[in-house]
């Protein structure tokens, strides 16, 4: 059993019975001002307007310049993710301040044999939270030891060029990386695409093999699918039944009732993100979905329903536009490129989108960017410039898989047909990534999709790819090595 959640939950149970003050109390370290803002400390703050919020981290163009700013930024990132998933701000603040919540055993985040550890898990598994907790430990070590490695937190999709150069630049305002080394957390290795992710991983491995690099410790997070040596790979554990129930209870749901759900639902809510969404659905007496993508759709539906400043249809169009812009630029989107000030405010009102500085926007959860990128592909097809660019297509891979996982047969087929001729290998990868692993034969459109893709690849002379796609699903009787996108 994972103990990190139970330790937190048991403490809460001693203080208050389930369903009393647990969704309303403002924790001790949160200060609310008259203008509705909730401070998270230092130069990072969450700005709340009515029932909506926009998270802005003002850290200057150079990024964090002190250990306090590093800690403030990490706390804000955790709060924005939880709030986007439906956790009230006060509870998100309490979660952020409970250090054992999300902290994994050292064996999963460090290695005596290697200076590099790759923490792998499906979306919603808690990888980013575990990385934030390791970053917090690195900050604490630097506070007490002036010679400890300089703590640095980076997101893979925002890095241009070499990851080591980026880490050194981020470390210099805090301490001397040449003398002390760096404790680097690199989150979302998969997000810039498999090709770029592998490039960043190779850079980290090569650097830590040098004399100077041996003073570094690097923790990377990724979804399944990247080629990672077994010696550096660690798998994030799922919650057990007790932990799942505890988390759902803490958020006002009924964890005991979840145990009576079908096996497929129980397997999905063993990952923290989906347990959180389940609790919000239960509070409103809504049925629980049976797949990760369906849980995401429920989260999105609720967020759009709560938007007061724009119609749901318009808000969804803006979210698709934002996702496409973020994927195309490989990072943050300029707010002015997404919409008018009123439209930007509508996006922020969904809780799914956050500010980065004064001029840029991002999704609070990377998987939401991928989800809406998929919706953009289903609505508009794959742009010609994407099909013609290896770099762009690599960035769009997970959006493509999301589109396949969430779309209907006709829309998916229409989207894939031109791409099959231009980039058959990418289609093979995306279909393998998206198709459910344990669907009874003949159920759903997936058998037809497999047959269609197989025929197209065979016509193109890509027989090996066709066989790989067919073998990737239990529909055809073969096991699938990746479990990152069960639809």
Any domain includes 360: no
CA distances from 48 to 34, 36, 53, 341, 393 (A): 11, 6, 4, 17, 37
Q: What is the pLDDT of residue 449?
A: 58
Q: pLDDT per residue over 49-63, tens digit each?
A: 334 454 555 544 557
User: From the CB of residue 220, how many other CB atoms can be counted at a distance below 10 Å?
Assistant: 30
Any domain includes 302: no
Lowest-pLDDT range of 52-66, 94-108, 146-160: 52-66
Among 227, 193, 238, smallest CA distance to 426 is for 193
Q: How do 217-222 and 182-187 pair as beta strands?
A: parallel
User: From the CB of residue 276, how many other CB atoms can be counted at a distance below 10 Å?
Assistant: 25
Any domain includes 93: yes
Lowest-pLDDT range of 228-232, 358-362, 392-396, 443-447: 443-447
Domain match, 176 and 269 both: no
Q: pLDDT per residue over 33-49, tens digit each?
A: 333 344 444 444 544 43
Interval 244-263 mean pLDDT: 91
Any domain includes 460: yes
Domain match, 114 and 230 both: yes
To 5 degrees, how large is the angle CA 91–CA 123–CA 82?
10
Token couple for 156: 């893979």
Query: How far apart are alpha carbons 121 and 220 in whole angstroms?
Result: 11
Pick from 39, 69, 97: which residue ends a domain? 97
Instruction: Please tell me whether residue 45 adopts helix, strand or coil conformation.
Output: strand
The alpha-carbon radius of gyration of the chain (Å, integer) is: 22
Token couple for 366: 């990377």
Domain match, 121 and 221 both: yes
427 or 483: which leads in pLDDT? 427
- DSSP for 305-343, please give it: HT-SSS-HHHHHHHHHHHHHHHHHHTS-EEHHHH--HHH
Domain match, 418 and 469 both: yes
Domain match, 205 and 250 both: no
- The answer on pLDDT for 196 being more than 90 is yes
Instruction: Please tell me whether residue 64 adopts helix, strand or coil conformation.
Output: coil
Among 220, 277, 255, smallest CA distance to 81 is for 277
Residue 268 belongs to domain spanning: 241-290
Any domain includes 306: no
Domain match, 115 and 199 both: yes
Domain match, 231 and 117 both: yes
Per-residue confidence at 19, pLDDT binned at 50, 70, 90? very low
Q: What is the pTM of this model?
A: 0.82
Any domain includes 465: yes
Domain match, 131 and 214 both: yes
Q: Are 48 and 26 in contact (CB under 8 A)?
A: no
Interval 93-113 mean pLDDT: 87
Domain match, 142 and 208 both: yes
Q: What is the pLDDT of residue 380?
A: 93
Per-residue confidence at 457, pLDDT binned at 50, 70, 90? low
Pick from 220, 235, 250: which residue ends a domain? 235
> What residue has token string 């230092």?
42
Q: What is the pLDDT of residue 313?
A: 74
Backbone CA torsion sign across 453, 454, 458, 461: positive
Domain match, 179 and 226 both: yes
CATH number at residue 151: 3.40.50
Interval 128-145 mean pLDDT: 96
Query: How far apart are alpha carbons 20 and 135 in whole angstroms?
Result: 33
Pick from 97, 126, 158: which residue ends a domain? 97
Any domain includes 307: no
Domain match, 143 and 222 both: yes
Backbone CA torsion sign across 341, 344, 350, 355: negative
Per-residue confidence at 441, pLDDT binned at 50, 70, 90? very low
Any domain includes 389: no
Number of domains in the chain: 4
Q: pLDDT per residue over 325-334, tens digit each?
A: 999 998 899 9
- The answer on pLDDT for 475 being more than 80 is no
Domain match, 13 and 60 both: yes
- The answer on pLDDT for 364 being more than 60 is yes
Among 392, 381, 307, smallest CA distance to 344 is for 307
């Amino acid at each position: 059993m994972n103990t990190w959640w139970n330790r937190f939950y048991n403490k809460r149970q001693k203080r208050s019975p389930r369903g009393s003050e647990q969704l309303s109390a403002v924790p001790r370290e949160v200060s609310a001002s008259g203008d509705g803002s909730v401070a998270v400390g230092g130069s990072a703050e969450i700005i709340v307007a009515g029932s909506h919020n926009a998270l802005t981290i003002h850290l200057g163009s150079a990024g964090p310049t002190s250990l306090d700013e590093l800690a403030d930024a990490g706390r804000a990132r955790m709060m924005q993710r939880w709030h986007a998933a439906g956790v009230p701000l006060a509870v998100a603040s309490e979660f952020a301040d409970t250090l054992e919540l999300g902290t994994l055993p050292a064996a999963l985040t460090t290695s005596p044999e290697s200076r590099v550890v790759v923490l792998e898990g499906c979306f919603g598994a808690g990888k980013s939270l575990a990385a934030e907790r390791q970053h917090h430990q690195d900050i604490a070590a630097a506070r007490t030891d002036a010679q400890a490695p300089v703590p640095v937190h980076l997101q893979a999709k925002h890095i241009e060029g070499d990851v080591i150069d980026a880490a050194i630049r981020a470390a210099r305002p805090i301490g001397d990386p040449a003398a002390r080394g760096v404790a680097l957390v690199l989150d979302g290795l998969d997000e810039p695409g498999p090709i770029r992710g592998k490039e960043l991983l190779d850079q980290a491995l090569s650097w830590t093999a040098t004399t100077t690099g041996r003073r570094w410790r690097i923790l990377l997070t990724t979804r399944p699918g990247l080629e990672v040596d077994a010696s550096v790979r660690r798998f994030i554990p799922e919650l057990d039944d007790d932990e799942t129930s505890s988390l759902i209870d803490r958020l006002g749901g009924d964890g005991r009732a979840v145990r009576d759900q079908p096996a497929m639902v129980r397997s999905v809510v063993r990952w923290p993100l989906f347990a959180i969404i389940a609790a919000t659905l239960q509070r409103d007496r809504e049925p629980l979905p049976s797949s990760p993508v369906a849980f995401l759709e429920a989260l999105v539906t609720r967020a759009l329903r709560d938007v007061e400043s724009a119609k749901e249809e318009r808000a969804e169009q803006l979210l698709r536009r934002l996702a496409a812009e973020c994927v195309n630029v490989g990072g943050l989107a300029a707010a002015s490129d997404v919409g008018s000030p009123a439209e930007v405010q509508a996006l922020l009102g969904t809780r799914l989108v956050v500010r980065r500085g004064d001029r840029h926007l991002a999704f609070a959860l990377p998987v939401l960017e991928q989800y809406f990128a998929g919706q953009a592909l289903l609505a508009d097809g794959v742009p010609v410039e994407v099909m013609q660019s290896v770099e762009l297509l690599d960035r769009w891979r997970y959006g493509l898989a999301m589109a396949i996982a969430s779309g209907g047969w006709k829309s998916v087929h229409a989207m894939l047909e031109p791409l099959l001729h231009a980039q058959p290998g990418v289609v093979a990868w995306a279909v393998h990534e998206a198709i459910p692993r344990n669907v009874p034969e003949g159920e759903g459109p997936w058998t037809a999709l497999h047959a269609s893709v197989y025929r197209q690849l065979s016509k193109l002379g890509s027989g090996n790819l066709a066989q790989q796609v067919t073998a990737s699903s239990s529909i055809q009787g073969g096991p699938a090595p990746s479990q990152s996108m069960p639809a």
